[in-house]
Amino acid sequence: MAVEIIPVFANLSSGYFLEGKQSRQTTNQPFGQFFSRNNLYLQVFPVVVNTAATLSTPLAACDVSGMSLVASIYSSDGATVLATGSSFTADTSAGTLTGNVDCNTVAMASYVSTATTASVIIEFRFTGAYGSRNVRTTGTIQNQRNYSGSPTAIPDTTYVTTPEMNARALLRDNGAGVGYILTSPDGTKRGYVYLSNNGTLECDLL
């Protein structure tokens, strides 16, 4: 399965995360809904106010050459670093920084241990020739429950196995003259079941 890349839009001029590359709308969930054991693969678009702005292009992409990024998730009081990532690769042609923040940490597990959801601070620190710029918001993280083992089977709602399903319903015949080979439970006998041209159901032992 391919890794899902999450686009993140950060306005270095205002210090807010945005909903899109040319959006003035801020967001407090720059990763979308995310969970306490997610490894977040991010493609970050740093933008600034376009000094030659038009209605269609209020923001301009930053030159990311030589730019570094530290992306961190903190507890709601800012006292504890829950997860962080600093290995971001710059793509100067696309104007992006790509890397990951792994939320599956001891600090995160402890922070959300008894919670369903928890408030967190999401902060990105960009550093370049201009100095340092921070983008920050207060967001929400979900406590991931199904992180190990297998779900407990629930009577009457558990998925049936393939043999059980085949025993309950006839499979599509997929064409005229096609029959079915049936096998006895002990595996010692096999039979071929088909509909004859005279309208009778025939069964021949193989």
Q: What is the pLDDT of residues 13-26, one digit of tens each?
A: 999 999 998 888 99
- Placement of tokens 């309950």 in the chain: 168
Poorest-confidence range of 5-14, 52-61, 70-79, 89-98? 52-61
* pLDDT exceeds cutoff 80 at 47: yes
**Range list for CATH 2.60.40 in the chain:** 5-142
Higher pLDDT, 162 or 155: 162
Helix (H) or strand (E) holding 117: strand 117-128
Give the CATH number of domain 5-142: 2.60.40
Compute the average pLDDT of residues 172-178: 64
pLDDT, the chain, mean: 86
The residue among 9, 8, 14 whose CA lies nearest residue 34 is 8
Average pLDDT over residues 78-94: 96
pLDDT for 189: 82
Of all residues in the chain, the percent with pLDDT exceeding 90 is 56
Q: What is the CA radius of gyration of the chain?
A: 28
The span from the CA of 116 to the CA of 112, in Å, is 7
36 and 143 in contact (C-beta within 8 Å)? yes
Q: Are 63 and 106 in contact, with CB atoms under 8 Å apart? A: no
147, pLDDT greater than 80: no
CA angle in degrees (0–180, nearest 5) for 134-122-130: 15
Q: At residue 182, what are phi and psi to the nearest 5 degrees?
A: -110, 145
Confidence of residue 153 (pLDDT cuts 50, 70, 90): low
